[in-house]
Amino acid sequence: MILTENINVLQASLIVEECFRNGIDTFFLSPGARCSPLTLAVARHPDVRVVQHFDERGLAFAALGYARATGRPGVVITTSGSAVSNLHPAVTEAFMDAQPMLLLTADRPPELRDTGANQTIDQVRHFGNQTVWHQDIPCPGPQISPSVILTTLDLALHHARRGPVHLNCMFREPLGPQPDRTDAEAHLLPVAPWLHNNQPFTAYREPALDLDELSAVELEDLLASQSRVMVIVGGGLTESEALAVLQLAAKRQWPVISDVCSGLHFGPQRGGVIRHIDSLVTSEGFPEDLQPGIVLQFGPRFLSKTLLQALSATPLTAWIHVSDREGRFDPLHRLTHRFCLEIDRFCMQIERTTSPDPRTEWRQTWLRMDREIDHVFSEALDNRDRITEPGVLRAISKWMPNLHGLYLGASMPVRDMNRFAARNPHHIHVAANRGASGIDGTIASAAGFARGLNRPVTLALGDLTALHDLNSLALLSIQRVPVILVILNNRGGGIFHFLPMADSSPEFETYWGTPHKWTFEHAAAQFGLPYANPKTMDEFTDTYRDALDSAVSCIIEVETDRRQNHADHQALAKALTQRQPAR
């Protein structure tokens, strides 16, 4: 549907229609005057969906969460000026984690730049090197062929599947739908065939890449030379990729180390997955009977710092990394082989060329020790009355229903879920903002994630993370798909108590502990969200299960003590040491 009232809305309508023809049907809008042509084009398109939010920072994070759920870019539309700057935190996260995003920022015409004109800032390459592509879209006019706009959009969306793309769209007044003298029929004549079909103007096709024959033979020889191959699965895999990895690992009897963001902590057919890696190894290295000879890593990065430290001192024959994302994901500088390929195609090709490995002892040792650690955590955390942060995360992991979404705050919650999660037979969609690992926009990200999944989501986050994004509670109050916020309120920065300075610096409490006295009951009331404040683990479990059944967004606030939380983690580590898992 092309609007033709004037040249501005016509060009904006071309942009929106070409997005739709590329399968992009969800637009994230903040209010503003300069973006009026784009807003009108979205509002009047009969087949697109709109997410509105008054806060551009939260809006961009909602688009990020949507991208994590769907693998498609949400389109963010803002007005000019500081509105554009507010997108930057989400752009950084999307760039660092290669998440799809398309930014359509309205801008003043070039004659107003560097003149002191109101709300005019330099928006050209505004995000520096944190976009994968950028382009200035000139002011609409009869000299700008519609084909220029369409081909630019097609290339932008091609790039946007690998990270954020910024199209800076300049508009002169009038910004509304006031008629002008544009001859729309003559202006659209160069794209007449496009007008009469429903396809993109330029269709991009991804290359289907496989291992070349020589590389496949060399890789198989390398993998066959070492009986101790350890598979590491990072975050961001699709279900088909995860299943391909599991199938290959099962055939070759390799243990699979699961990052919680991979989704492999949960679900059916996860029998070969090791979930408690942080407790199985220490920063001092692997136990002798678990030490790998080859690491086969899938996905761009993994969460466990403990595993990274252990691998830094482990002699390896090879470290093989497979991910379809460009870039060097090698903080230890130990990679010997890097394959930029689709993970499921890689696994299926390797599986076809290999035979089952009858040697099962090493993987069985891993699995036996992982089960023993889970038993220790079960004894220490399950069916206990006193509420603890590890206990809350473990309870969430046990009770999530099938196809539920889980979004994790990037500080302690994602680490605790990675360490303490219980087995859950259901398929769970898991995500966290671990590209730049900031606490910005986490509530908005979860809201976008729920919208993209079209499934309820549990968001577990800390109090500072929640305070950082209170504006985005507005998103939860208006959207149909519920998000259950579990806020672990320990009155400050609990993660900092795990730093050496917590015990040695008199300035610690003021400058790292960041103490406060706030709770979230009034915030829930402000945005019309149900609120609960359970005081025991039984109360939390009942409250959480009721929230799952209610199908409405809500806030469950769990109050804990930062120092006690540190002590609880130490007690769990001591329990593991005393139990000494059987080898």
Identify the CATH number of the domain in which residue 524 sits: 3.40.50.970
Residues 425 and 564 in one domain: yes
Who has greater pLDDT, 527 or 578? Answer: 527
pLDDT at 181 exceeding the cut of 60? yes
Residues 134 and 224 in one domain: no
583 confidence band (pLDDT: 50, 70, 90): very low
CA angle, residues 512, 515, 519, in degrees to nearest 5: 135
Residues 45 and 190 in one domain: yes
Query: What residue type is 8 in one-letter code?
Result: N
- From residue 427, how far is each of 71, 202, 265, 347 by CA, in Å? 18, 37, 9, 21
Q: Indicate the residue among 164, 195, 226 that finishes a domain.
A: 195
Residues 6+ apart with CB under 8 A from 278: 304, 306, 307, 418, 419
> How high does pLDDT run on average in the chain?
92
581 confidence band (pLDDT: 50, 70, 90): very low
Q: Which long-range contacts (CB under 8 A, 24 or more apart) does 215-223 make?
A: 215/339, 216/349, 216/350, 216/353, 217/353, 219/320, 219/337, 219/350, 220/350, 220/353, 220/354, 222/294, 222/317, 222/318, 222/320, 222/337, 223/252, 223/294, 223/296, 223/350, 223/354
356 confidence band (pLDDT: 50, 70, 90): confident
CA 8 to chain centre: 35
Residues 6+ apart with CB under 8 A from 353: 216, 217, 220
Q: Indicate the residue among 338, 364, 390 that finishes a domain.
A: 364
Half-sphere exposure of 59 (CA within 13 A, CB side): 27
Within-domain flag for 202: no
353 confidence band (pLDDT: 50, 70, 90): confident
List residues bridging with 536 in a β-sheet: 386
Within-domain flag for 477: yes
Residues 421 and 562 in one domain: yes
Residues 481 and 540 in one domain: yes
pLDDT at 362 exceeding the cut of 50? yes
Within-domain flag for 78: yes
**Structural domain range at position 548:** 382-579
Contact indicator for 434, 411 with CB cutoff of 8 Å: no
Q: How many domains does the chain have?
A: 3
* Structure confidence by residue, pLDDT tens digits, 459-492: 999 999 999 999 999 999 999 999 999 999 999 9
CATH number reported for the structural domain that contains residue 242 in this entry? 3.40.50.1220
* Structure confidence by residue, pLDDT tens digits, 410-430: 989 999 999 999 999 999 999
Residues 359 and 394 in one domain: no
Residues 151 and 280 in one domain: no
Query: What residue type is 504 in one-letter code?
Result: S
Query: pTM to 2 decimals?
Result: 0.94
For residues 537-566, average pLDDT: 96
Residues 257 and 359 in one domain: yes
Residues 18 and 132 in one domain: yes
Within-domain flag for 73: yes
For residues 343-348, average pLDDT: 92
